[in-house]
Amino acid sequence: MSRRRSLLAAGLAGMAVAVLPGAGFAQGKPVRPLRIFMILYRGETDVEKGFRDYFASRQIVVELIVRDVEQDVTRVAALVTEARALQVDLIYTWGTPVTLAVVGKSNAVDPERHVTTIPVVFTMVASPQGAGLVGANGLSGRNITGASHVVPIDQQLGAIRAYRAFKRLAVLFNPAEPNSVRIVKELREASERDGFTLLEQAIPLDDQKKPNEAALPALIEKIARLRPEFLYLGPDSFIGANRKMITETALQHHLPAFSATEIMLREGRALFGLVSRYENVGRLTAYKVEQILVGKIRPQEIAVETLARFSYIVNMSVAAELDLYPSLKVVNFAEVIR
């Protein structure tokens, strides 16, 4: 059986089914592809590239049914209905809002709305415990597990200090996103312990309780007037979706931005960050799927993990624009992009 990749129209714009290459026979008998229903938040990213590549490298035959809510979590309910009707083997969810809409918090599960019988593996959830998905031991006790992409706060702060000492750190965040609120809480605790000032700026919400994009330029200007040494941009889906405008506006105000996510550096203009590479997060997520669908391990027995190694990335074109270059010590271990 020749290896090939085929993309089949799924009848809806921006939605596709992909059958990835792999071993198609076992002991002379055809192998049914593992059917994975993928619910994305804002289209495919390098996370999905790593996810696909993992199965190809392992010669595991998978059928990926891809759906994108285009940043509108209200679409999740219809997709849950579709996944149930298709009787898929597993559901893949991207980000905290989508994951919560699919499975609910541990203490607020509604079997009518939430998936309780199909295994669910999430990715790109910044704080699984803070979001109410898992316990302190990293286990969910139910049909879900997944991979987190966020470097521990203390390591992030150490990365900022390695670039330049600071006394005032600003953070822009979406108060409607649970993981963002959790990250700010951790930063607040660190500021009290380490003796730096944390300047918190929540993005105002509109009548639908959604963050107001139009308010961002004025908020960033307000932050700049407070003269923090750095602006912290955390693992926030809304901030990620507005990465170009946020980082460009910060640059206009000569405000250096540290990012906890790779996309703000690759597709935005953050100065530097300590991040998990998206492709590697995708591979870790795929490994969790393999444990469930091939290894027959129950999701509740698989702890949520993050990567063991992280990437320190510096955007040198931004450093030049800010006239804020890293030390030679940082350059020696950082990945430099332009």
- Domains delineated in the chain: 6-149+278-301 (3.40.50.2300), 153-275+311-337 (3.40.50.2300)
pLDDT of residue 4: 32
Cα–Cα distance for residue pair 66/14, rounded to 1 Å: 9
- CA diameter of the chain: 70
Residue-wise pLDDT for 50-67, tens only, equals 999 999 999 999 999 999
Q: What is the pLDDT of residue 25?
A: 45
Mean pLDDT for the chain overall: 90
pLDDT value for 18: 57
Q: Is the pLDDT of residue 247 over 50?
A: yes
Element (H, E) at 218: helix 216-225
Amino acid letter for position 79: L
What is the structure's pLDDT at 5? 33
Q: How many CB atoms lie within 10 A of CB 229?
A: 18
Each residue's pLDDT tens digit, 251-292: 999 999 999 999 999 999 999 999 999 999 999 999 999 999
Compute the distance between CA of residue 154 and CA of residue 273 in angstroms, rounded to an integer: 13
Q: Could you tell me what percent of the chain has a pLDDT over 90?
A: 81
The mean per-residue pLDDT over the stretch 90-107 comes to 96
Residue 89 and residue 233: Cα distance in Å, rounded?
36
The pTM for the full model equals 0.78
d(CA 64, CA 36): 5
Give the whole-angstrom CA distance, residue 168 versus residue 263.
24
Cα–Cα dist 287/57, whole Å: 12
Closest to 118 (Cα-Cα) out of 39, 184, 61: 39
pLDDT at position 48 over 90: yes
Question: What value does the mean pLDDT take over residues 95-120?
Answer: 96
Binning pLDDT at 50, 70 and 90, where does residue 179 land?
confident
How far is Cα 302 from Cα 288, in angstroms, rounded to an integer?
Answer: 8
The pLDDT-based confidence of 1 (bands split at 50, 70, 90) is very low
How far apart, in whole angstroms, are the C-alpha atoms of residue 179 and residue 260? 13
Distance in angstroms (rounded) separating the CA atoms of residues 173 and 154: 18
90 token code pair: 């597993």
What sign does the dihedral 321-149-125-38 (CA atoms) show? positive
- Is pLDDT at 8 greater than 80 in this prediction? no
Residue 10 has pLDDT above 60, yes or no: no
